[in-house]
Amino acid sequence: MKYINLGRTGLSVSRICLGTMNFGAITPKEDSFSIMNRALELGINFFDTANVYGGKVGEGITEKLMGEWFEQDKERRDKIVLATKVYGNMGNWPNEKNLSAYHIKKACEDSLKRLKTDHIDLYQMHHVDRNTPWDEILQATEQLIREGKIIYVGSSNFAGWDIATACQEYSKRNMLGLVSEQSKYNLFNRKIEREVIPACEYYGVGIIPWSPLEGGMLGGVKKVNEGRRNASEVMNKYKKHNDQMDKWENYCAEIGEEPADVAHAWLIHQPAVTAPIIGPRTLEQLEKAMRVINLNLDKNQLDKLDEIFPTAGQAPQYYAW
């Protein structure tokens, strides 16, 4: 395994982040345990989850499952950089969602109970909340840091100006502020290159891409047809971009690599990226994903991928002279 600092911090995380969204919802508990066991053996020390994962509103099924896994061997917890999230709907009562100080405090304490741990290493805002003032959000996270309940703060699905605003507001409070941003990013969907990536690079915020295969589309047409939850949606998108996807798969065949491996490796080659999130449903998928750590793409190959999937272009240059 290779490691990299998370954004501008001194925290070392694996170049692959284990996503747990399938655990408890699609992947049974025992299989989830096997995947986490093997991930640790392979050197993956970065695990990402969220309080809303698991398929049932308010139950935090995935966090509970991970808590049970930690309880089996308490030494595991200190080997992992544990990331979870706050924002999503955790019930049908007022104040059980979004980023009010009230909800942040309660959501964090509930996550700690489910995860059976005394602290969260990376606490991420799952979405921006423009109905809550920044000083309220920052005060709530600052208090959690003081109490030792969280160490680092991250964002997810933020716009570039949200990241800049958050970093500036944290700076006014003499706080480290955002250290990571979790965004949808892959060869097919490169929109964050316009403003999110430049903002992250300027402020030293590490990018943790989710959906590195665009829901399976970049894994190859055969993979798209293998019973995915969103197979019809992905297949329709695949057909709409058939010429582009043919070029993609033909080029992967030309260089003798699996499409999924190339898609993951391309992300690791992007300078702003800390670690793409892989969300294996099976142990086999985890094992196959490990190959990308040592898959080096040369400049000609990277240029060819840019030709097939053109860059979104940094703002304002991409739309103005």
Taking 70 as the threshold, does the pLDDT of residue 99 lie above it? Answer: yes
Interval 145-166 mean pLDDT:
98
Query: What residue spans define the domains of the chain?
Result: 3-308
The DSSP secondary-structure symbol of 76 reads: G
**Among 3.40.190.10, 3.30.300.30, 3.20.20.100, 3.30.460.80, what is the CATH number of 3-308?**
3.20.20.100
Strand partners, 122: 83, 152
Report pLDDT for 235.
85
User: What are 73-94's pLDDT values in tens digits?
Assistant: 999 999 999 999 999 999 999 9
Nearest to 182 by CA among 128, 121, 245, 113: 128
User: What are 270-295's pLDDT values in tens digits?
Assistant: 999 999 999 999 999 999 999 999 99
Provide the percentage of residues in the chain whose pLDDT is more than 90: 92
**Known active-site residue 170:** no
Do residues 178 and 128 lie in contact, with contact meaning Cβ atoms separated by under 8 Å? no
Taking 90 as the threshold, does the pLDDT of residue 233 lie above it? Answer: no
SS3 32: helix
Provide the percentage of residues in the chain whose pLDDT is more than 70: 97
Interval 10-24 mean pLDDT:
97
The torsion angle over the Cα atoms of residues 9, 12, 18 and 19, rounded to 10 degrees, is -10
Catalytic residue among 3, 53, 170, 318: 53
**Can you say how many angstroms the Cα of residue 39 is from the centroid of all Cα atoms in its chain?**
16
Report pLDDT for 226.
56
φ/ψ region of 54 (left if φ > 0, alpha if ψ in -120 to 50, else beta) reads left
User: What are 27-60's pLDDT values in tens digits?
Assistant: 999 999 999 999 999 999 999 999 999 989 999 9
Strand partners, 4: 13
Interval 248-256 mean pLDDT:
97
* pTM for this predicted structure: 0.95
DSSP string, 188-212: S--GGGTTHHHHHHHHTPEE--B-T
User: What are 112-155's pLDDT values in tens digits?
Assistant: 999 999 999 999 999 999 999 999 999 999 999 999 999 999 99
Q: What distances in angstroms separate CA 158 from CA 128, 242, 259, one per listed residue?
A: 6, 30, 28
SS3 19: strand
Interval 5-15 mean pLDDT:
98
Report pLDDT for 223.
60
Interval 155-162 mean pLDDT:
98
Interval 102-111 mean pLDDT:
98
Point out the least confidently predicted range of 15-19, 67-71, 97-101, 240-244. 240-244
Taking 60 as the threshold, does the pLDDT of residue 225 lie above it? Answer: no
Non-local CB neighbours of 105 within 8 Å, separated by 6+ positions = 140, 143, 144
Do residues 211 and 175 lie in contact, with contact meaning Cβ atoms separated by under 8 Å? no
Taking 60 as the threshold, does the pLDDT of residue 228 lie above it? Answer: no
The shares of helix, strand and coil residues in the chain, as percent rounded to the nearest 5, are 45, 15, 40
The DSSP secondary-structure symbol of 184 reads: B
Q: What is the mean pLDDT of the chain?
A: 95
Do residues 140 and 101 lie in contact, with contact meaning Cβ atoms separated by under 8 Å? yes
Interval 201-225 mean pLDDT:
89
